[in-house]
Amino acid sequence: MLREGSLSRVTAEYVPVVAAVREAVAAAFGPELLHSAYLFGSIPRGTAVAGRSDLDLLLALHREPTDADQATANELLATLEARCPQLNGGSVLLFSTERLLSDLERYDLGWFLACLCTPLLGPDLAERLPRYRLDGMLARETNGDLAEFLPRWRERAANGAELTTLSRGAARKIVRTGFTLVMPRRQGWTSDLAESAAVFAQYYPERGAQMRAAAGIARTGSPDPADLALLLDELGPWLATEYMAVHGPKSPRP
């Protein structure tokens, strides 16, 4: 599987954003701590929409990240969002190089870095990872943990979590899980949520309408409790059971 993004695909409107990100990351995380930095999501895919798309970063550190490192990352994201009106939120993922290259993460975080992340700074860790195939092993290790998320989402809802944010995150996970359920049969990759739902519906037409609804929720989130119920009480539990039957559970983490 080839990388889906590239700096050459960044649109003209986002070229200065990428330059600002590179400068800010280097300043916030010096060479003693930062091994390499990567973009993922719509910006390196060339599909970002100004004012609607977020900034997604992965930083590989020479050691395990600390709470202080995460605070620095949060401050970095806030600064970039303030400087770049094209951005609408985002995320900064922090991992040690040891974890990213570990056998346990080879078909999850390792695959994510090698295939869905675009190098921005430093040596590319993908050169130390294998070439990946869209097979059952990859399906199991990327999304074979949906059953673990469902009770967490229900607990958050019961504790008064903001429904729009909760439903958006849950829907994204569910749509991606639906796609990777059928990915080995399709033998193709997409990160587009609408396309993911459409591909899933080809193999499970009886659940197609629900997955398309989930893809809609994944784009903007929904404050409607009925939409959250669709995700957590109907589509999600069925999908977790089907995934387990087809691919099995993800390897347990410490």
**Length of the chain counted residue by residue:** 254
Buried b (16+ CB within 10 A) or exposed e, 105-128: bbbbbbbbbbbbbbbbbbebbbee
pLDDT of amino acid 6: 95
Tens digits of residue pLDDT in 139-154: 999 999 999 999 999 9
Q: Is the pLDDT of residue 1 over 80?
A: no
Q: What is the mean pLDDT of the chain?
A: 95
pLDDT in tens, 37-77: 999 999 999 999 988 888 999 999 999 999 999 999 999 99
Q: What is the pLDDT of residue 254?
A: 81
Pairwise CA distance, residues 189 & 93, whole Å: 22
Closest CA to 37 of 86, 80, 2, 67: 80
Q: What letter would DSSP give residue 122? A: S
What is the rounded CA–CA span in Å between residue 220 and residue 212? 13
